[in-house]
Amino acid sequence: MYVQSNPILTHVTISNNTANNSGGGMYISYYSNPILTNVTISNNTANLLGGGLLLGNRSNLLVTNSIIWNNLPESISINNNQSPNLEPVPSITTISYSNIEDGEAGIITSDNDSLYWNEGNIDQDPLFTDPENGDFTLQTGSTC
| Residues 120, 122, 127, 129, CA torsion sign | positive
Report in angstroms the alpha-carbon separations of 97 from 7, 23, 63, 90, 119: 20, 23, 8, 23, 6
Q: What is the pLDDT of residues 43-99, one digit of tens each?
A: 999 999 899 999 887 889 999 999 999 999 999 998 755 555 666 677 889 999 999
Element (H, E) at 68: strand 67-69
Percentage, residues of the chain above pLDDT 70: 92
The alpha carbon of residue 35 and the mean position of all alpha carbons in its chain are separated, in whole angstroms, by: 11
Higher pLDDT, 41 or 114: 41
Q: pTM of the entire structure?
A: 0.91
Computed over every residue of the chain, the mean pLDDT equals 90
Residue 1: pLDDT band by 50, 70, 90 thresholds?
Answer: very low
The whole-number pLDDT of residue 85 equals: 64
